[in-house]
Each structure stands twice: as C-alpha cells, then as structure tokens.
C-alpha cells in the first residue's frame, strides 16, 4: 500500500468511516493490478513508499544515559557561562541548581509525553490492522504477498506463507505492524522512563557543581582551582557515559566517548564565550 493510501485509510478508520477504508483498499488493489507489469508496480511503489521512522528504544539504560549526558552538558555549560562572566561562586550555584531542577523536570516530562504518544499511536494502528484483518482479509493477504515478493520471494511461496500465517490472527497482525508499517512493539513504561531520566539528569548534572559546593561549605578561596576540578570531573564522566552509550549503539567505545566529550566541549565553549562577552557588564 502506498503512503498516500495508508494515510487515507488511517483518517477514514479514525473517523469511523469503514466503507471508505474498504474503498481505499479496493482502489489500491485495482491500481496495483492495472500496471503494465508487476515489476512496473514494484518500481513505482519503491519510489512513492517509505517506512515510517519510529523510536524503537525501550531500555531504561538509554533514558539513564541520555538523561545523564544532558544533565552533565547543561549544568557545565551554565558553569562555563558564569565563569566567562567572572561572577561569584554563589551565582554559579544558584544558576546551576535552578537549571538542574528546571531542565531535569522539562526533560523527564518530554520523555514521558513522547513515550506515551508513541505507545498510543502504536495501539491505534494495531486496532486498525486488527479491524482490517477481520473485515478485509483478502486485501490484507494481497498486501502481504506483495511485500514478500518485493523481498525476492516467489509469488507461489509468498502465497503459501501468507495463507499459513493468516490462520493465526495475532501473529498476522504482529507481522503486518512490522512489515507494512515499520512499527516494532514497545514495552516501555512512560512513567518509569520519566523517573529514570529525571534521576539520571540530576545525579550526573550535579557533578560539575560539586567542587563549588565544597568551596562554599568550607569557605575555600580557590575558585580557579575548583573550576579546573569541575572541568576534569565533567570531562571524565562525559567520556564514561559515551562509553556506556556505545554498549547499546554498537559503536566503538573510544569513538563514542570522544564524540560525547567533544559535544560537551562545544556546548561549554559556546557558553563560556557568551559569558565572556558579558564580562564587561559584570565587573
């Protein structure tokens, strides 16, 4: 089914216009059969169709790592911006803590809403596919045969596969979700994801602030030294989180670590230059 037909089917189904769903399937089937050759149809379908891109991550480790990365980079950027403007340590702490809490809440809510929306979308699409399997079984079989033929399977074998598969509704719908729509079922929990993100953001985000907290608690007058200590700790944990990220992105650990470290350097450097530009107004 072309992407245009798929969009029409979705709209009609969500509006409760089931006759229109059937009509779109019939028209799509007629258009497919009226091509000069099946190869012509496949070439046309390849040019006009695409798989929808969806977020398939679900492991809490990903929320933890990305939350930690954002926390580190965001907070250290604040530290660099304030350092560039040569403001007092108490200002670094005030801005750093407020940014840590505010951005952490925003990011966790964003994680919650995006995960929840993705799950709801998949549920709606699954209900639509189940309805089509119940009410348009032959059209759905034709679509699956076409999909398998596009993968290089002969029509005879594809037909046999689909006939066997269609005996098992749940398996049939599962396969249609992946093959036709590019949707991989997710078992994520939006609330848990949000909690993991917030916790990780705050835990790692406070690392750049720790040296400055020490200076305030013990009244140590060595801001420059503790600024370098903050930089060292941030760089170390950025590289470590990059290494952890490589474990589920299957990239080289040293490359992932350096990329993450470089991202932090770019963000912090930009913040420092902006703070430097405002230094004349704070002295």
Q: Specify the pLDDT at position 201.
A: 94
* Structure-derived torsion over alpha carbons of residues 262, 266, 267, 270, reported in degrees to the nearest 10: 160
Q: Specify the pLDDT at position 90.
A: 85
Which segments of 250-282 does DSSP mark as H helices, in order? Answer: 253-277, 279-282
Q: Specify the pLDDT at position 61.
A: 77
Q: What count of Cα atoms within 13 Å lies in the side-chain half-sphere of residue 141? A: 17
Contact 105, 198 (CB under 8 A): yes
Q: Rounded to an integer, what distance in angstroms lies between the CA atom of residue 13 and that of residue 25?
A: 12
Burial of 153: CB neighbours in 10 Å, binned 0-12, 13-18, 19+: middle
User: pLDDT under 70 in the chain at which residues?
Assistant: 1-14, 21-22, 24-59, 185-187, 222-223, 283
Query: What does residue 222 show for φ and ψ, rounded to 5 degrees?
Result: -150, 55
Q: Rounded to an integer, what distance in angstroms lies between the CA atom of residue 213 and that of residue 96?
A: 11
Tokens of 280: 């004349």
CA 156-173-23 angle, to 5 degrees, is 80
Distances (CA, A) of 271 to 17, 41, 212, 278: 54, 54, 18, 11
Cβ neighbors of 161 (< 8 A, separation 6 or more) are: 148, 153
Contact 144, 160 (CB under 8 A): no
Q: Rounded to an integer, what distance in angstroms lies between the CA atom of residue 270 and that of residue 238?
A: 17
Q: Specify the pLDDT at position 262.
A: 93
Q: Specify the pLDDT at position 59.
A: 52
Distance, CA of 122 to chain centre: 15
């Amino acid at each position: 089914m072309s992407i245009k037909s798929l969009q029409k089917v979705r709209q009609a189904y969500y509006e409760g216009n089931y006759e229109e769903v059937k009509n779109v399937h019939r028209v799509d089937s007629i258009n497919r059969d009226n091509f000069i050759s099946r190869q012509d149809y496949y070439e046309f379908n390849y040019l006009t169709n695409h798989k929808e891109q969806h977020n398939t991550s679900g492991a809490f480790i990903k929320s933890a790592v990305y939350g930690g990365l954002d926390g580190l980079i965001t907070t250290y950027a604040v530290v660099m911006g304030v350092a560039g403007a040569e403001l007092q340590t108490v200002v670094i702490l005030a801005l750093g803590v407020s940014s840590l809490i505010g951005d952490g809440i925003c990011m966790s809510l964003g994680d919650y809403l995006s995960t929840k929306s993705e799950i709801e979308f998949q549920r709606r699409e699954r209900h639509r596919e189940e309805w089509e399997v119940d009410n348009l079984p032959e059209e759905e079989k034709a679509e699956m045969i076409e999909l398998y033929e596009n993968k290089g399977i002969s029509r005879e074998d594809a037909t046999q596969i689909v006939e066997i598969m269609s005996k098992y509704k749940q398996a049939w719908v599962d396969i249609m979700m992946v093959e036709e729509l590019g949707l991989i079922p997710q078992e994520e929990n939006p609330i848990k994801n949000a909690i993991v993100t917030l916790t990780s953001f705050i835990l790692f985000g406070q690392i750049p602030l720790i040296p400055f907290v020490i200076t305030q608690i013990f009244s140590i007058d060595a801001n420059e030294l503790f600024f370098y200590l903050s930089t060292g700790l941030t760089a170390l944990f950025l590289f470590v989180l990059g290494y952890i990220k490589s474990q589920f992105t299957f990239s080289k650990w040293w490359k992932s670590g350096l990329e993450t470290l470089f991202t932090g350097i770019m963000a912090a450097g930009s913040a420092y230059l902006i703070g430097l530009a405002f230094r004349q107004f704070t002295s």
